[in-house]
Amino acid sequence: MCQVILFAVAVSFFSFWSVNWFLMHFSAIFYGIWKLFRKRRLTAATRNWPGVSILKPLVGADPNLESNLETFFAMNYPIYEILFCMHEDGDPSLEIVERLRKKYPEVRSRVFVGGERVGANMKINNLFPGYREAKYDLFFFSDAGVKVKADTLMDMVQHMTDRVGLVHQLPLVCDGEGFTNALEKVYFSTVCARIYLAAAMHGFNCHIGMSALMRRSVLSEIGGLEKFSNHLAEDYVLASAVLSKGYKLVISSQPVWQNLESKRLSVFLARIARWTQIRFATQPHQVFVEPLFECLVNGLLGAWAARELFGWDPIPFYVLHVLVWLILDVILTIVVNGGVMPMNVFHFLACWIFRECSVLYPYLYAVFVPAIQWRAGIYRLDWGGQVKEAGLAPPSIR
């Protein structure tokens, strides 16, 4: 009886190991090649472009904020407005916004200060006055750390059809200095890109809400932005609501470029841990499932199963598994970065090894630390992703 159970477990593990390669690695690479950086000549004259209201939540200012915001003023799109939303008067971002508004008076823009308390989610509270006063039927939600190209908005709008409820973008990182920036580039070009592209290809919800285009009618149909104001993972819950109404989620052919100031390694690790905490609270079963998709853990399952089923030596099997995984991650990195390697091989390898060896940190943190530190607040998550405020974070980690 024990032998039968052991055999069944080995078959399950080996099947899982095998399917993971096709569902994740190869799906992501082939879909990325087909979808990303497709050349289109988009101009104001190619179609009757609808008006777009761009909503920018702002809290504080980092050294790259002005250059990031300026790319939105310089977009090649015929009709749009930029709605800057900040929590309080005197925010450092306000001076930057006013300077850019004077520099680009031809671009319609408005400033909303003070927010509106509709729930525990500070981002939605910030956005709500702008969301309520938006002029156009298309909403483009875009975080402060995002940098766009001249034709980014055209690219996103041309993906918006009647059956599409939300257009979003694969998150990547702009070039920067230091180990943390390189680590972020590797993380978003491999782990994040693999999951994001594979999920998008198979029609699953993979939305990360730093850049998203939606129609007013779809937002109204799912209850409006305020319905998600008590979720810290409002992007995922909102996208799930869109899917539940029969609409599709589509990624655009351009990634969203995060252009943030260089951060300490601890800040990056805290960010990844926070995302893991939110995912686990929203979908508790991922506590047990997610680690199985990681390279080192997945290889252990495959190596043990291969020994039990075929008598193969697990050590060479495991080494080959890691090597092929690394090669496919290099290929995926080149694909999502437009056909170029964004760093030299030595830097990539150092960051890749560090990330894979520290992979259990965010999972363990998510399990044993119930509080979430986000912006100026500390929150506690209930099962299902509902959020409750628990206090203010220390200034050093805001």
* CB of 92 closer than 8 Å to CB of 79: no
* CB of 32 closer than 8 Å to CB of 335: yes
246: left (phi over 0), alpha (psi -120 to 50) or beta: left
Residue 180's CB is within 10 A of a number of other CB atoms, namely 18
Residue 67's CB is within 10 A of a number of other CB atoms, namely 11
Please report which residue ranges of 188-264 form alpha helices under DSSP H: 193-201, 216-221, 234-244
What Å distances lie between residue 249 and 152, 166, 240, 387, 396, CA to CA? 18, 5, 9, 25, 37
What Å distances lie between residue 276 and 78, 363, 370, 372, CA to CA? 39, 7, 11, 10
Residues facing 219 on adjacent strands: none
Which residue in the block uniquely carries the two structure tokens 């628990």? 390
Which residue in the list 91, 143, 235, 329 is annotated as catalytic?
235
Residues contacting 248, CB < 8 A, separation 6+? 163, 164, 165, 203
Question: Distance between CA atoms of 135 and 132, rounded to whole angstroms?
Answer: 9
Does the active-site annotation cover 235?
Answer: yes
State which amino acid sits at residue 183.
Answer: L
**Angle ∠(153,195,19) on CA atoms, nearest 5:** 140
State which amino acid sits at residue 144.
Answer: A
* CB of 51 closer than 8 Å to CB of 82: no
DSSP reduced 3-state for 250:
strand
Question: Distance between CA atoms of 271 and 266, rounded to whole angstroms?
Answer: 9
Parallel, antiparallel, or unpaired: how do β-strands 377-381 and 52-58 relate?
Answer: unpaired
Question: Count H helices, E strands: the chain?
Answer: 16, 13
Active site residues: 235
